[in-house]
Structure 1
């Protein structure tokens, strides 16, 4: 009997190509990894940043993905093996990294800092494991008001599933303030902290397919487990209706806005 797709499977198949691959490329462009560098993909999920880095021409010293979710790491390992990628995958808490001091040149983290239970401790740990002169590149979602896709999804879930499901989307946008981010990094000992609002225009050729997949592929997935098929269908229709002018026939084209943080040790 074929295994049902997990949350991590849906995340990888639906969200990674449309949202997380473009952001991974943007972070890599800004960080400009160099040959020989040891690179950490913190809160790596299914490993999209690591895979995008591995496509570059330089031969890196090492590639390491770290995440607290065994389910996400299982998908990361599987996809890496299929791609012939040599990387290390480590299950751990961001606030207790199992690495020696001064062992990475560069660390990436996309759309995860807002979910860390202890953000200051996680950033102090990251500062510890980076070499002197090491660099970081983070992206952190901005508020719902400037992210129409997430705003439409939260409203649809509030109305047709419940406020707990809508809150799972709003949590994605729970650390929107640039000054708060700057203070977090500076207090953890980082230098040359820059925070810039960046907008990527993201596209999917089939808005309905994306809406259906996103409902189970974001942090809302487990909130839909007790909802009837008709209830999920109503939520998807409301999601699409809320997207309004971002629909182009069957396709979806929408702005996705995050703060990008770069800093050094």
Structure 2
């Protein structure tokens, strides 16, 4: 009998193909890796950005990925081992990076800054390990009103699980202000900071399947554990109803809105 999937495995199977792979490609479109770059994938999760870099056909001088969650790193290691990729995986906190000064030419971080407990300290660390002339590319979720999929999820959880569960989704949109982002980066010592609102249109062919998986595969953990199967079904139905025009038959197509921050060292 197979053991139940871990949170990291659910995150990889449900959320990465729909949400995080498209955003990884968008970051690379705006800050393309180059042969010889020393690259850091910060808060790498299951390594989606790292794998996208490897698929670009460039040859980094160094390819490093860091995350504080060992389960995420275990999944990332397994996936890159299957693909034969040479990656340095590091368990580390963003606010205390175990790298020398000026260690990287390009640093990516997608959908994680809003969760860092000390954002100024983390950005000072990123600035410290970014070489002169280097580039940082971040994406950070915008507000709940601009993200109807997350709004529907939060409302469904509020109704059937409790506001604590809904708050866990709202935390994904916990740093929505572009000017606040700009100030954080400039205060940390970055130069030529650009903050752009970007919306991707994302798709899943089976909204019901996505709903059931996403509730247990978001950044903030499994919100459906501990409630009855009947209530799980009610949460999924409430989520689907809340999608409104984003639900097209059995499929879902929804805007996913973030700020993309590009900053220089």
Residue ranges of structure 1 left out of the alignment (5+ in a row): none
State yes or no: 1:29 paired with 2:29. Answer: yes
Structure 1 counterpart SS, 2:243:
helix
Question: What's the offset of the Cα at 1:32?
Answer: 1.3
TM-score scaled to structure 1, two decimals?
0.98
Structure 1 counterpart SS, 2:157:
helix
Describe how 1:134-213 pairs up with structure 2 within 5 A.
134-213=134-213
Do the aligned residues in 2 keep the contact of 1:164 with 1:223 (CA within 8 Å)?
no
TM-score scaled to structure 2, two decimals?
0.98
Tell me which residue corresponds to 2:40. 40
Shift >4 Å, 4+ stretches: none
Do the aligned residues in 2 keep the contact of 1:24 with 1:52 (CA within 8 Å)?
yes
Aligned residues: 265
User: Could you tell me how far apart the structure 1 residues matched to 2:223 and 2:12 are?
Assistant: 18
Do the aligned residues in 1 keep the contact of 2:207 with 2:251 (CA within 8 Å)?
yes
CA RMSD of aligned residues (A): 0.8
Do the aligned residues in 1 keep the contact of 2:18 with 2:204 (CA within 8 Å)?
yes
Question: What's the offset of the Cα at 1:228?
Answer: 1.1
State yes or no: 1:65 paired with 2:72. Answer: no
Question: What's the offset of the Cα at 1:220?
Answer: 4.9
Do the aligned residues in 1 keep the contact of 2:15 with 2:214 (CA within 8 Å)?
yes
User: Could you tell me how far apart the structure 1 residues matched to 2:5 and 2:20 are?
Assistant: 19
Do the aligned residues in 1 keep the contact of 2:215 with 2:222 (CA within 8 Å)?
no
Tell me which residue corresponds to 2:244. 244
User: Could you tell me how far apart the structure 2 residues matched to 1:203 and 1:115 are?
Assistant: 25
State yes or no: 1:53 paired with 2:64. Answer: no
Do the aligned residues in 1 keep the contact of 2:138 with 2:261 (CA within 8 Å)?
yes
